[in-house]
């Protein structure tokens, strides 16, 4: 019965996505093998780039710029696009300009942070979303998760920017330093959660670590996701995490071969939540609808109800 439920939810989700004028609809169509034409992907890449500012960013924001670059890369990979608009390099240069700039999460050395190696004396390579004397009041991830205040916006926003650099093969020495810093935070998460950070931050950090070629980074991501998996409720939701963010990261873990069995179990339980909360039109609501539907669609496709 579970297999039938998953298939019905998958079919309804795919039908809803197909009706949306959104990059996620194009991405799903290519991943499903429904289309081989790259016209739609090229149209969306051009449209996103048209909204780019003169300095290379989108909205002069770290999260907005990383989100645009992540979406463009998803479109390119799904549709097999080879060409790379020069605007991409301008945007990556803008991101690099935010690395180690004033206002990173690592700034500020208190005795406690120094003892735990969480200040700038031990970590570098983080990206700054803004100056330290101007609090970051609001930040959203692509799946609709609202980051919970200044420390989390600076930490999780930096992790998202790092993931962007890794996906665009723009890693340098500062990127490797950033990965080492995230590894330090995630590895010590069970003993000490830094003030102002939530499980959303842990997931953002693990998401970046999963993309690293370094086995130590992947091991740290595994440790972090073990913590998150232990907080999943019986109905598939999480005690203190956004389900769509968690499912996206566990999906990346499955694709990366990191703790695949545990990650598939998390996806299987999450699928039960998705089936129960899916609306009649096949979506999970209009707010961030296409992105959430794509995450759900991928979740259904990754699990095997007969095995999991």
**273-279, long-range: CB within 8 Å, 24+ apart, which pairs?**
273/235, 273/236, 273/237, 273/243, 274/9, 274/236, 274/243, 274/247, 274/299, 274/300, 275/5, 275/6, 275/9, 276/235, 276/236, 278/9, 278/12, 278/13
Residue 52 is assigned to a structural domain of this protein: yes
| Structural domain contains residue 268 | no
- Say what the pLDDT of residue 57 is: 98
Average pLDDT over residues 203-226: 96
DSSP state of 284: S
Is 270 a domain residue?
no
Residue with structure tokens 């969480």? Answer: 118
Cα separation, 91 vs 87, in Å, equals 6
Q: What local confidence, expressed as pLDDT, does residue 255 receive?
A: 95
Residue 109 lies in a domain: no
Residue 21 belongs to some domain of the structure: no
Task: From 261, 204, 255, select the one nearest 229 (Cα to Cα).
Answer: 261
Boundaries of domain holding 56: 37-85
Query: What tens digit of pLDDT does each residue of 74-86 get?
Result: 999 999 999 999 9
Alpha-carbon gap, residue 6 to 251, rounded angstroms: 16
In the chain, how many domains are there? 1
Q: Are 102 and 128 in contact (CB under 8 A)?
A: yes
Is residue 44 within 8 A of residue 38, CB to CB? The reply is: no
pLDDT given at position 3:
86
Mean pLDDT, the chain, integer: 95
How high is the pLDDT of residue 1? Answer: 44
Question: In angstroms, rounded to a whole number, what is the distance separating the alpha carbons of residues 47 and 32?
Answer: 23
- Looking at the domain assignment, is residue 252 inside a domain? no
In a domain, 58, yes or no: yes
Which are the contacts of 64, defined by CB distance < 8 A and separation ≥ 6? 57, 58
Token pair recorded at residue 255: 């694709």
Interval 12-58: pLDDT, tens = 999 999 999 999 999 999 999 999 899 999 999 999 999 999 999 99
Each residue's pLDDT tens digit, 230-283: 999 999 999 999 999 999 999 999 999 999 899 999 999 999 999 999 999 999
Q: Measured in Å, how far apart are the chain's first and last C-alpha atoms?
A: 13
Q: Has residue 192 got a pLDDT over 70? A: yes
pLDDT of 308 over the 80 cut: no
Q: How many CB atoms lie under 10 A from the CB of residue 36?
A: 9
Q: Which two tokens stand for residue 186?
A: 């995630």
Task: Using pLDDT thresholds of 50, 70 and 90, give the confidence band for residue 285.
Answer: very high
What was the pLDDT predicted at 306?
Answer: 61
**Mean pLDDT confidence for 58-78:** 97
Give pLDDT tens digits for 122-135. Answer: 999 999 999 999 99
How many helices, marked H, and strands, marked E, lie in the chain?
13, 0
198 within some domain: no
């Amino acid at each position: 019965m579970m297999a039938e439920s998953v298939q019905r939810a998958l079919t309804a989700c795919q039908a809803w996505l197909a009706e949306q004028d959104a990059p996620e609809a194009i991405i799903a169509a290519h991943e499903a093998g429904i289309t081989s034409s790259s016209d739609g992907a090229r149209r969306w890449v051009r449209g996103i780039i048209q909204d780019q500012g003169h300095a290379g960013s989108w909205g002069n924001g770290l999260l907005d710029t990383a989100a645009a670059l992540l979406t463009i890369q998803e479109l390119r990979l799904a549709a097999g696009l080879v060409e790379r608009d020069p605007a991409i390099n301008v945007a990556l240069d803008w991101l690099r300009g935010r690395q180690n700039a004033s206002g990173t999460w690592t700034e500020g050395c208190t005795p406690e942070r120094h003892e735990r190696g969480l200040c700038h004396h031990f970590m570098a390579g983080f990206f700054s979303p803004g100056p330290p004397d101007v609090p970051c009041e609001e930040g959203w991830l692509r799946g609709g998760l609202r980051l919970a205040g200044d420390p989390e916006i600076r930490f999780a926003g930096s992790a998202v920017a790092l993931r962007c650099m890794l996906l665009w093969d723009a890693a340098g020495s500062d990127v490797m330093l950033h990965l080492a810093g995230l590894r330090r935070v995630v590895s010590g998460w069970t003993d000490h959660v830094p003030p102002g950070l939530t499980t959303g931050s842990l997931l953002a950090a693990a998401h970046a670590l999963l993309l690293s070629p370094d086995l130590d980074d992947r091991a740290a991501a595994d440790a972090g996701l073990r913590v998150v998996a232990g907080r999943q409720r019986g109905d598939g939701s999480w005690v203190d995490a956004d389900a769509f963010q968690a499912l996206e990261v566990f999906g990346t873990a499955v694709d990366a071969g990191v703790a695949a069995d545990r990650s598939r179990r998390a996806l299987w339980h999450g699928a039960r939540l998705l089936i129960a909360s899916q609306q009649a039109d096949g979506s999970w609501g209009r707010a961030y609808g296409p992105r959430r539907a794509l995450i759900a669609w991928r979740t259904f496709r990754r699990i095997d109800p007969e095995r999991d």
